[in-house]
Structure 1
Amino acid sequence: MNVKPLRIVIVDDHPLFRHGVRTLFLTAPELEVVGEAGNGEEAIALAQSLRPDVMLMDIRMPGLSGIEMTRRITVMDPAIRILILTMFEDDSSVFTAMRSGAKGYVLKDADKDELLRAIHAVGNGEAIFSPGIASRMIEYFAVTRPAAREEAFPELSSREREVLYLMTEGASNADISSKLDISGKTVANYITNILNKLQVSDRQEAMRMARDSRRE
């Protein structure tokens, strides 16, 4: 019985990297690269038109970030599974990607066998991480207080979460400054940290993530 190959779209802003991944897949007949995207807008368009099984997604992209693309694509079509393939292994990137709907997280220095295993796992609906990342996640949840395990945005400090939730309630920077008794510059710094850690481009995206987390 012939099994249909997994249909793959590669999303990365480096053409040479996309070419290398495509070339690697030539030795894997069970995978079929059906498209490539070099920026967020292209990736969204390909997701809509091709409806691939798996999208390999870098995090740092021109235009929409890989995090925001993941969020939009999984809302648009949950059947499209996102595997993050990136060089960033910090906890902030990992937690934010998984919260946005990614099913796996693999580093670009992974060998061929690891990458192929990850693609097949994600294509079959499983969650998978590079070994080093999986170990850190296990350690994080093992040492975190039970109440904190369910706390949204573990990558943010308690004060940053406080600022974020005030933002979702419509508080301006001046309101936050007054309520928390901190300077306007400090508020601005907190907001910059929040956007960087959540891998979003503006406060509206951050506020949407915070509101979505409250519904879960």
Structure 2
Amino acid sequence: MTTPDHPTLRVVVADDQAAVREGLVTLLDLLPDIAVVGAAADGDHALTLVEQHAPDVVLMDLRMPGVDGIEATRRIHDHHPATKIVVLTTYSDDTSILDALRAGALGYLTKDAGRDHIAQAIRTAAAGQAVLDPTIHARLLAATAHHPDTPPSAPPDGLTTRETEVLTQLAAGHSNTEIARQLFVSETTIKTRINHIYAKIGAADRAQAVRYAYQHHLTQP
């Protein structure tokens, strides 16, 4: 049951395989706090559904005919920033992952994920927090790790050491509460520092901050 504090999340499912698409719709419609408002077989139709329904989240496949998932993600992120995108795909190669995140995806899961994991990813993304499959997170860390002969450098864009710590924790998928607990400060302090980080790196939201962290090698294994 939904309440004013926990409203129903409106979701669009985009996948070119009818069996997968219909299966996801059926599974998600069984959840009390999620309502599927549209299902698309390609990126172009997904864009139309976003324009019509303004969903909270799009569950996006990558390989689709016509407008693929990467381009659809980019257009939704640019023109409908309130709608968050969670990629759900069979592809877990470095190029697909990085292209999806750069396009604006806030989450990335493989189709091995179970219903509970997918549902939690939708809820997390709707709250504006990044969510990555553990396998995907490991691949990102490997893809962006420092080379052994690369000397350490000062934090970029004027970030302080503590702000860099917060950004690293944020990129690892931790919530504000978890970051505050790990750094022994209040959650209000973390929110303030995150706002300062956004201003310094030119990020509009958590997804852009996560991408910045990966691009600048601020993640930790």
Alignment correspondent of 1:36: 39
Alignment correspondent of 1:64: 67
User: Alpha-carbon deviations, 1:115-173, whole Å to 9, x = none?
Assistant: 111111111100011111112212333334468xx9xxxxxxxxxxxxxxxxxxxxxxx
Aligned counterpart for 1:113 among listed residues 113, 116, 132:
116
TM-score by length of 2: 0.64
What secondary structure is seen at the aligned counterpart in 2 of 1:143? coil
* Mapped partners of 1:73, 1:26: distance in 2: 23
* Mapped partners of 1:136, 1:15: distance in 2: 29
Unpaired segments ≥5 residues, structure 1: 151-216
* Mapped partners of 1:136, 1:25: distance in 2: 28
Alignment correspondent of 2:141: 138
Matches within 5 A, 1:49-88: 49-88=52-91
Alignment correspondent of 1:214: none
Contact 2:77 2:104 survives alignment (8 Å): yes
Aligned residues: 150
Unpaired segments ≥5 residues, structure 2: 157-221
* CA positional deviation for 1:40: 2.0
What secondary structure is seen at the aligned counterpart in 1 of 2:62? coil
Max Rg structure: 1
% same residue: 41
User: Alpha-carbon deviations, 1:72-91, whole Å to 9, x = none?
Assistant: 11111100100000000000
Alignment correspondent of 1:26: 29
TM-score by length of 1: 0.65
The alignment yields a C-alpha RMSD, in angstroms, of 2.1
User: Alpha-carbon deviations, 1:28-69, whole Å to 9, x = none?
Assistant: 110000001111221111111111000000000110110000
* Mapped partners of 1:37, 1:66: distance in 2: 11
* Mapped partners of 1:34, 1:50: distance in 2: 7
